[in-house]
Structure 1
Amino acid sequence: MTRRLLAVHAHPDDESSKGAATYAYYRSLGVDVTVVSCTGGERGDIQNEALVEKAMADRDMAGLRRIEMEKARAAMGIDHVWLGYLDSGLPENDEPVPANSFATIPLEISAAPLVAIIRRLRPHVVHTYDETGGYPHPDHIRTHEVAMFAIDAAADAERYPEAGAAWTVSKVYFDRIFNAPRITAMHDRLVELEPDSERTAQLAEFLERVNERPADATTQVPCGDFFETRDDALRAHASQVAPDSRFFFWPNDLQREVWPFEDYLLAASTVESPVPETDFFAGIDTADADDALVGGTR
């Protein structure tokens, strides 16, 4: 039976910075991979001063980000679904989150379309963020809340009966790609190769930012052959990812040498899967998962 992976992200471009190589790797193995973007990224600022489409970004950021998302989707070879909510932006100085944006919608309402997506696609694995959102953007935090709520609700036939037959996700993963051991390994190797280079200094500065993050990854997906695909997907989001972005501080060959993985935390599982592991689908018998009765219905 076909294995199925669903990734739930806050904005278009998040899927490319937090899992793109993994998604391309699993597509190469025949896995059905779908990314859900919870918002359209309408309130994103231009992060690339050299953006060719700056006039469009000023006039229609939402439209531009849809175009960019389609380019990234094609680069990874995945499927994509919009959840349909408005970007909440990143309020400053204790300003409130804008009314009717994603972070303000009641959870039982905002999760409803994701429950329907889970029941329609029947993913064995879901990848999303932990309770911090990865960083304190209201949409990232809400994405975690919506994803976990929807996973739980999708397995209960008595909840959202209009959304289709109940489905239980076998495993849930949280992103741990930007972890201190990974950045340390690459920094140390770059120091050996080019101790006085600008990118070595940039990576040292980035290491200071991630050094306090917990090193709690359980799962390393061996996707080094797809780092170029990841970069193509990132560059597709040209309004958000500049050519000199921190994502491109270090050469891909160096990454493949010292850390040819993307890292995740196994957050929930209904199957036996000893950790550490190298495969999202370890322990999952997809035939059993597909044939199982869930909540007494199919």
Structure 2
Amino acid sequence: MAEQAPAAPTTAGGDPLRLMAVHAHPDDESSKGAATTARYAAEGVEVLVVTCTGGERGDILNPSFGEAPGTPEEMAALRRDEMAAAAAALGVRQHWLGFVDSGLPEGDPLPPLPEGCFGLVPLEEAAAPLVELVREFRPHVITTYDPSGGYPHPDHIKCHDVSFEAFAAAGDPERYVVDGGAPAWTPSKLYYNHDFSMNRIRAVHEACVAAGIESPFGEWVERREAREIPEREVTTRIEIAGFTDQRDAALRAHATQIDPAGFFFAIPRDFELEVWPWEEYELAESRVRVDRADGEYETDLFAGLRPGDAA
């Protein structure tokens, strides 16, 4: 007799749990919170990755990739294929918002952003398709970037802006009204990813040095310290043991961006998990009660929502 699959996890009211992870470009979902989404998908949570732009202006960052696509349209098509493979590796669904990559401006002074790019789209216009998607998918939890974008890429900053706007507005039936659109939906929790926090980078770097393992973070530690990037509060740690293989497969799927012999794979996985077995988040907003003592971390993005949790 075949074993029955375990029941999908639900809220206290019996609604299947749903998680939406909003990212700027294809490949961001694989470098930020990937093992978390793989873990929840494996547990039966409905997980939807949202990609704001097509990554048209991304550079080829993998030296072994070969010839670059000749046009932004060809790059976008290639990155769509990469994204499909990454989503399959993580076991999640994925949705494109359809905006155009802004590129990362460089120089002093910085050049203007290209016309029509995501970074220049007015907030309400940029947020409207995400608001509608929130109402259709009805996530209980949304993850995205903090107000700095994690680093000063205009698409990452705009990704934060539209995610925050959607979290605030999707439950208001008087805002973003669409004839025949899905009814209003109020997400319960909003989190910011902290995968590249200085605390993590420094801890892994120092552990590598102590163990005699070459660290990929040495210059990065010095560079980020020089920039004096403020460390944001961490409220939540999700254990990811057992899901790094899925994360790594998703990273490798983005062959234009990820060097399989490079930075992301420089530290032995067993050693990495001994030192830092989590992905970290900041609980930015919550509409449910979360009981967390001082100095303690949440261990579940759905804390406060599952049966038996405080109302």
Q: TM-score, normalised by structure 1?
A: 0.90
Which letter maps to 1:7? A
Matching residue within 22, 29, 33 for 2:43? 29
Q: Which position in structure 1 is the counterpart of 2:192?
A: 174
Map 1:1-298 onto structure 2 (within 5 A): 1-52=15-66, 54-55=67-68, 57-59=69-71, 60-93=74-107, 94-162=110-178, 163-194=181-212, 197=213, 199-200=214-215, 202-211=216-225, 212-214=229-231, 216-275=233-292, 276-285=297-306
Structure 2: how far apart are the matches of 1:178 and 1:209? 13
Residue 256 of structure 1 aligns to which amino acid in structure 2?
L
Distance 1:274 1:287, change over 3 A: closer
Alpha-carbon offset, residue 109 of structure 1:
0.9
AA matched with 2:305: I
Deviation at 1:185, TM superposition (A): 2.6
State the secondary structure of the residue aligned to 1:140. Answer: helix
SS of residue paired to 1:174: strand
- 1:121: Cα distance to partner? 0.4
Aligned length: 282
Q: How far 1:106 sits from its partner (Å)?
A: 1.1
C-alpha displacement at 1:29, in angstroms? 0.9
Q: Structure 2: which amino acid aligns with 1:258?
A: V
Partner of 2:6: none
* Native 8 Å contact 1:179 1:213 kept in 2: no
Aligned amino acid, residue 168 of structure 1: T
Q: Give the superposition deviation at 1:160.
A: 1.9
Residue of structure 2 equivalent to 1:293: none
Q: How many Å apart are 1:204 and its aligned residue?
A: 2.1
Select the structure that is richer in helix: 1
The structural deviation recorded for 1:285 is 4.2
Which deviations, in whole Å up to 9, do the C-alpha atoms of 1:2-55 show, x marking residues without a partner?
Answer: 110001100000000001100001011110110000000000011012105x35
CA distance in 1, matches of 2:58, 2:307: 38
Question: What is the alpha-carbon distance in structure 2 between the residues aligned to residue 286 and residue 164 of structure 1?
Answer: 27
Q: 1:42 to 1:153 in 2, by over 3 A?
A: same
Distance 1:17 1:270, change over 3 A: same
Shift of 1:65: 0.4
Deviations 1:147-180 (A, max 9, x none): 1111211010111232321111100000111122
Matched-pair identity in %: 50
Q: CA deviation at 1:208?
A: 2.8
> In structure 1, what is the Cα distance between the partners aligned to 2:142 and 2:248?
23
Contact 1:179 1:210 in 2 (8 A): no
